[in-house]
Amino acid sequence: GLLLSTQLGDLSLFRAVGFAILIGSGLFFYQTMVQQTRAPRRLFYQRLFAINAFGFIFLLLSFRFGGHVSVQSLSVQFALAVHFTMFALWIGALYPLLTISRTEQVAELKVSLERFSKHAVVIVSLLLLSGLALMLSLIHSVADLFTTAYGIALILKILLVIGLVAIAAVNKYIIVPRLLLQTDTAQFQRSVRLEIVVAILLLLLTAYLSTVLGPTMH
């Protein structure tokens, strides 16, 4: 009871509810896909998206109760919400992309990938812009990037993001256009697997930055 009356309690409660909704939704989706012999209707996916969005909102709201950005202005907190959402949309799409690439219908696959690429341009742009806004709010000067542990870790994060964007660019402008010229999707699958590995490293480093380290003002 005492813990729930603190900011840490609020943070834990919101994240517990958010993760419970998302995990429950994921298990329900898996169970449905295993039991059904044909693909669910669009309404099923729309309802599932609404449930996931509801759980995701709880996770976003939890950042108001803890972390480096919780003491910042509403505009900075909004930038974090955008950054977190765009990263989740981008990284969350990687495994489904890997799954649908295991098909012999290369022409249909290319159409799906090109459709995703159009959305990905917006997602990555918002991700980078919001990330820049967050960095400017947490770092006092360029010197902090090279003289503090937080700054050095942030540089590593920036390098991983650059690597992730580079892989995505190769997919969009080189690998995907070649798909119609070749029936083998192995190169695309290898690229997505590499993207997933870099994304996991980025998640681990972000967790380290947000829990163990902190900018000089904190």
pLDDT score, position 101: 79
CA distance 139 to 210: 14
pLDDT score, position 114: 80
Give the predicted TM-score (pTM) of the model. 0.74
Q: Output the CA angle 12-198-179, nearest 5 degrees.
A: 125
- Cβ neighbours of residue 167 closer than 8 Å, sequence gap 6 or more: 191, 194, 195, 198
3-state helix, strand, coil in the chain (%, to 5): 85, 0, 15
pLDDT score, position 121: 86
pLDDT in tens, the chain (218 residues): 555 566 667 777 878 888 888 888 888 887 887 777 676 777 888 888 888 888 888 887 777 766 666 666 777 788 888 888 888 888 888 888 888 777 677 777 777 788 888 888 888 899 989 888 888 877 777 777 787 777 888 888 889 989 988 988 888 888 877 776 766 678 888 888 998 999 889 888 887 777 666 655 55
pLDDT score, position 69: 62
CA distance 24 to 51: 10
